[in-house]
């Protein structure tokens, strides 16, 4: 988890997708995040974090359902939503937090 915290502190904007391999909606998020990455380029870092392999991180951020997406700005949580989110909505959230 130390490496994860370091990335959150270092990068300006980090979108974290808390997911699980067995989760159907999580699988739906994969192409959405890929599409988002092509749209936003280097404006934000996108990380995927498997809650089953990282229970400590899931506990720290009180992840109760997957997928849960959290946007961090300079290490602080600025936006959070559970469930499938469209690339367009994610892009708007990121653009809004770039200012």
Cα–Cα distances (Å) from 1 to 6, 8, 50, 54, 58, in that order, read 9, 11, 12, 8, 10
The residues that are catalytic are 23, 26
User: Which domains does the chain carry?
Assistant: 2-98 (3.40.30.10)
Q: pLDDT over 90 for what percent of the chain?
A: 84
pTM above 0.85, yes or no: yes
Give the model confidence (pLDDT) of 8-32 as tens digits: 887 789 999 999 999 999 999 999 9
pLDDT above 80 (res 2): no
* pLDDT of res. 30: 93
Average of per-residue pLDDT values in the chain: 93
């Amino acid at each position: 988890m130390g490496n994860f915290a370091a990335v959150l502190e270092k990068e300006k904007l980090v979108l974290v997708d808390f997911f699980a391999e067995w989760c159907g909606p999580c699988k739906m998020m994969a192409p959405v995040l890929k599409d988002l990455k092509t749209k936003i380029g280097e404006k934000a870092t996108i990380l995927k974090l498997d809650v089953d392999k990282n229970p400590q991180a899931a506990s720290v951020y009180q992840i109760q359902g997957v997928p849960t997406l959290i946007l961090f700005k300079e290490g602080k949580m600025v936006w959070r939503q559970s469930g499938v989110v469209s690339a367009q909505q994610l892009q708007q959230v990121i653009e809004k937090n770039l200012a």
